[in-house]
Structure 1
């Protein structure tokens, strides 16, 4: 049996949820979620249709196209069941040469050539759009077997991992390995207080800690934009192509509005440098309001380069965990992703109680 690929069109948010476009979006999210369960556990990291739609359609620097693959010549019942979901993202201003594909084949249909078919389709679209490289981040939960080191010398993936074997076979190169870690909640309040007190003492009186939920105060948007822009060039990238991201206050606002539209809330902790009146560190957590017991997701933790060495990273991360416990005590954990060569942040995470869950490979293919 061969397959055909259908590009999705966004449903009208106000339309009947029984409409075909909503049904296709639900099927897309279902395949993605079944694929991530091997790494994160069933139901613990979910893409809801509301989140997918917000990321897909709301204003921002990234343009996204979504696809489903179906069996060709299947029965009517089978034709309603897609066998793979795919996404192709580009960021024309930030990364004009790169495209970011993602393919998930539903487990019962793997090893039938579907992934090859869908990946080739996305690659053709990227070439037609003038892109010269592809990048993808892929979880590799397979344990044991011969380990293949990242070119950085930090981190590895199993040579027996099916996704890794697929990528090598189709001309991709491993450029970096990130560590996926999880913190199980609750964390003893005394442990967090001790970390905060020690970090604040190291930082000194020139710094003041701030925490908030939801959209940021307009007076801080320029500072948050600067921090995010710095992160795009300061974060370890291994052997992957990396371009500086262009951030301004409006982009920060777009990011926050998109998270709220996705059905999330987010918690921020930041450090104000009192003499300059500017934010010099920030950490952000996102939580899904449809089920607050699911683990939160750690977004960027950022410290301005000229203010590093004062334990500000520990200060904002621990303070945000305290805020999480106070506002949403039902939350059961936090997932985070860090480059294996980012030894400082990994030490902070380990001190807070994060434990490794799986490696995630950063892959690149030159077109």
Structure 2
């Protein structure tokens, strides 16, 4: 059977939710979520139409194009007939040579060459846009079998994993493995308090933890921008070629506005270095407000290099989990992603109770 690809256009803000553009967007959402289920469990990590639309249409450093693939020949391209969803992202200011494709084939339609067909289309678009390098992050939940180690020597994927086999076959190289972990909630309050008190004692009187929900105080935006910029180069990247991200106060505010517009809330914990008056550590959680029982997602956790060795990483993570328990006690878990070579942060996570779910591969391909 032959297939064709249709690029999606954003629904008009005032359009009916049952219009064609909305139906296509919701089919895109459902295919992506079917892919998440194999790794995270049914319904535990979900895209929402509102988040896809906010990420797609609101101003930001990353721009996206969305696509659906359909069978040819029957004249149908309504959403329910789509067999694959794809996204092509670029970040012109941060990474002018890179494009970031992602393809999910609906489970009943796999092993028909659809993934190759869609991936080839995204590669052609990236080349036409002058991109010379592709990168993608892909979950690999297949257990057992022969394992292939990441070039870092930390973490591995199974040679039986369908996504890994496809990527190797089509010329991609494995650059790094991240560990996907989950913390099941609730964590005993006394356990979190013990971690916070021990970390506070180790940090000393020069450091004070701050927590808040939603948009950050304008006085903190420059410090948060610096921390995010540090994260882009300080986080272990294995053999992946990465560029430094350009952050300023407006970009932080823009990121926060996008998160809120997507129907999420976010919780921050940060450490203030009292003598300098600057934030030197941060940890952030995002939670979907449409169903706050679902697991939250861990975003950046970072300690400025000159302030490491004082257990500030544990302090911000534990303080934010305590904040989450206080504000959203119904939340059932937290998902996090960490480089397998980041032994320090993995030890922090394990001490807090996180357990490994699956590896996620960072892959790259030269065009």
Query: Contact between 2:184 and 2:333, CA under 8 Å: does it hold in 1?
Result: yes
Query: Contact between 1:71 and 1:78, CA under 8 Å: does it hold in 2?
Result: no
Gaps in structure 1 of 5+ consecutive residues: none
Specify whether residues 265 and 79 from structure 1 end up closer, same or farther in structure 2 by C-alpha distance, changes over 3 A only. Answer: closer
1:249-268 matches, within 5 Å, as: 249-268=249-268
1:258-297 matches, within 5 Å, as: 258-297=258-297
Q: d(CA) in 2 for partners of 1:132 and 1:269? A: 38
TM-superposed CA distance for 1:302, in Å, is 1.0
TM-score normalised by length of structure 1: 0.99
TM-superposed CA distance for 1:77, in Å, is 8.8
TM-superposed CA distance for 1:79, in Å, is 7.6
TM-superposed CA distance for 1:13, in Å, is 2.2
The equivalent residue for 1:309 is 309
Q: d(CA) in 2 for partners of 1:79 and 1:176? A: 35
Show CA shifts across 1:263-282 (max 9, x none): 00000000000000000000
Instruction: Please provide the CA RMSD for this pair.
Output: 1.0
Query: Contact between 1:269 and 1:282, CA under 8 Å: does it hold in 2?
Result: yes
Show CA shifts across 1:289-310 (max 9, x none): 0000000000000110000000
Equivalenced residue count is: 367
SS in 2 for 1:309: coil
Query: Contact between 1:281 and 1:316, CA under 8 Å: does it hold in 2?
Result: yes
The equivalent residue for 1:134 is 134
SS in 2 for 1:251: helix
TM-superposed CA distance for 1:146, in Å, is 0.3
TM-score normalised by length of structure 2: 0.99
The equivalent residue for 1:199 is 199
TM-superposed CA distance for 1:81, in Å, is 1.2
Specify whether residues 324 and 80 from structure 1 end up closer, same or farther in structure 2 by C-alpha distance, changes over 3 A only. Answer: closer
SS in 2 for 1:276: coil
Q: d(CA) in 1 for partners of 2:98 and 2:210? A: 36
Q: d(CA) in 1 for partners of 2:322 and 2:143? A: 33
Q: d(CA) in 2 for partners of 1:236 and 1:246? A: 18
The equivalent residue for 2:158 is 158
TM-superposed CA distance for 1:80, in Å, is 4.2
The equivalent residue for 1:93 is 93
SS in 1 for 2:326: helix
